Amino acid sequence: MKILYIFSHPDDESFGPSAGISAQLRAGHEVHLLTLTKGEATKQRLKLGLSKEEMADVRYKEMLNVQKTLGLTSMTVLDLPDSGLKELDPRIIESGVEKEIKKIKPDIIVTYPCYGVSGFHDHLINHAVVKRVYLQMKDEGADYLKRLAFFTLSEEDLKRKSLTMKFNIQSSPEELIDCKTPIDETDIENMKNGLKCYETYKDTIEETGVMNMFKDELSFEIFGEDHKPVLEDITKNLK
C-alpha cells in the first residue's frame, strides 16, 4: 500500500511521525514524503550566520540524510516560502500538492490535524490545502485515494513532553483519535536517528524532549471516519 506524508518543513516528518513511518515501512508499505518548503526562515540561520538561500541548502542536505536513514520510498521537497504560505495564493500550494498526489497515487495521505500540532500558521494552511485537494480529487474520480489521516498527539504523549507551553503543543481529544499504531524499539531508534540528521536543530530537539516522548504507539485522527474501538493500523478497514 502507498502512504504519502505531506508536511510544511524539514524535520516535521521526524518529530514523531517517523516512528510510524518506520513501522509502516517494516510492514512492507511504500512510504513517500512531500515537504512544501526548505525551512529557510528558521532563526537557526542567524546563529549560524547563513542567508536564507544557504540555510535552505543546509536543511535540504539534512533531509537527504533523513531519507536515507528512514529508508523512505521517495521524497520530494518543494521550494515554497517558509513561514510565507499564508501570503501565497492557495492555488499555488494546491497545485504542488496535487501534482505529487497524481505522481504517487497514494492509497492514504497523512498530514497535520486542523490545529497543526504546534499551531504554526504554515501547518494550519498545510492542513486546509491538503484536505481541499484530497476532497476535490476524490470528487474528480481519483479512486486510488482511500483515506486522509492526521498525525496527532494524545494526552498521554503530552504528559511525557517537556516545555509544552513554550512550543504551544496541542493534543487531540481522545474521542477524535481513530488509530493508535504500535511502535517498538526499532521504530523509536529510527525516529531518533532521523532527528539526529538535523544537526542544525540539535538544541531545539533536546529542548522539546521528543526523544523520550513516544513509548509504544502513535495516534492518528482519520477524516470522515469514526473508529471505536480504534484501529491499530491506518491501512486497515479501508472503504
User: Is 44 a domain residue?
Assistant: yes
Give me the mean pLDDT over the 92-107 stretch. Answer: 98
User: Is 16 a domain residue?
Assistant: yes
Other CB atoms within 10 A of residue 74 CB = 15
- The residue range of the domain holding 164 is 2-222
User: Is 215 a domain residue?
Assistant: yes
For residue 166, the model assigns a pLDDT of 54
**Res 160 pLDDT > 70:** no
| Domains identified in the chain, total number | 1
**Res 222 pLDDT > 80:** yes
- Of residues 211 and 2, more confidence is placed in 2
Q: Grid coordinates representing 132?
A: 481541499
- Pairing state between β 30-37 and 108-111: unpaired
CATH number of residue 217's parent domain: 3.40.50.10320
For residue 1, the model assigns a pLDDT of 97
